[in-house]
């Protein structure tokens, strides 16, 4: 069997519906959209969950329960291979931001162990993974955890 012998199974592929090709085609005049109304118009679509002005189901149901997600601590991940780009022996979150490794709003910076670090550095971060800690200390570096 070769690549040119492969074909889809019979009935798996359909011809596209050719709209507006005369009355006898079955898809002429209104092109399968029925008569008038919002859904027959150009650009006429209603958003998901809209029920024609009736109070939508999602708003009729009561909100229940508690979600702890809004109180979670979210760290900006920084890998060891990226720390090589930061100059100096002391790498702090401000230096990471200046180097473009950390962008946006985060609760803290967490160093992850992907990649290698060749030089001895003092890493100042809010959290450090076990792999990153082992690699930094193996290279002769130190870690300071910010509270």
Residue 147 confidence (pLDDT): 82
Residue 110 confidence (pLDDT): 97
Task: Return the CATH architecture of domain 72-145.
Answer: Ribosomal Protein L15; Chain: K; domain 2 (3.100)
Residue ranges per structural domain of the chain? 20-64, 72-145
Smallest CA-to-CA distance from 144 within 126, 120, 132 is with 126
Q: For each of the chain's 147 residues, which pLDDT tens digit applies?
A: 899 999 999 999 999 999 999 999 889 999 999 999 998 999 988 999 999 999 999 999 999 999 898 899 999 999 999 998 898 999 999 999 999 999 999 999 999 999 999 899 999 999 999 999 999 999 999 999 998
Residue 84 confidence (pLDDT): 87
Residues in Cβ contact with 49 at an 8 Å cutoff, skipping those fewer than 6 apart: 56, 57, 58
SS3 78: strand
Half-sphere exposure of 98 (CA within 13 A, CB side): 8
Cα torsion angle, 81, 86, 87, 89, sign: negative
Residue 28 confidence (pLDDT): 92
Cα torsion 19, 24, 26, 31 to 10°: value is 40
Length of the chain: 147
């Amino acid at each position: 069997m070769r690549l040119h012998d492969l074909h889809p199974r019979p009935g798996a592929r359909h011809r596209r519906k050719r709209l507006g090709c005369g009355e006898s085609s079955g898809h002429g005049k209104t092109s399968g959209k029925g008569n008038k109304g919002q859904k027959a118009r150009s650009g006429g679509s209603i958003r998901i969950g809209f029920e024609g002005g009736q109070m939508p189901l999602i708003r009729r149901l009561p909100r229940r329960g508690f979600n702890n997600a809004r109180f979670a601590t979210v760290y900006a991940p920084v890998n060891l291979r990226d720390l090589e780009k930061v100059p100096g022996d002391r790498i702090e979150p401000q230096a990471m931001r200046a180097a473009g490794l950390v962008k946006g709003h985060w609760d803290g910076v967490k160093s992850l162990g992907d990649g290698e670090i060749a030089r001895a550095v003092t890493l100042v971060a809010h959290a450090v993974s076990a792999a990153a800690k082992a690699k930094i200390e193996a290279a002769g570096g130190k870690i300071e955890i910010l509270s």
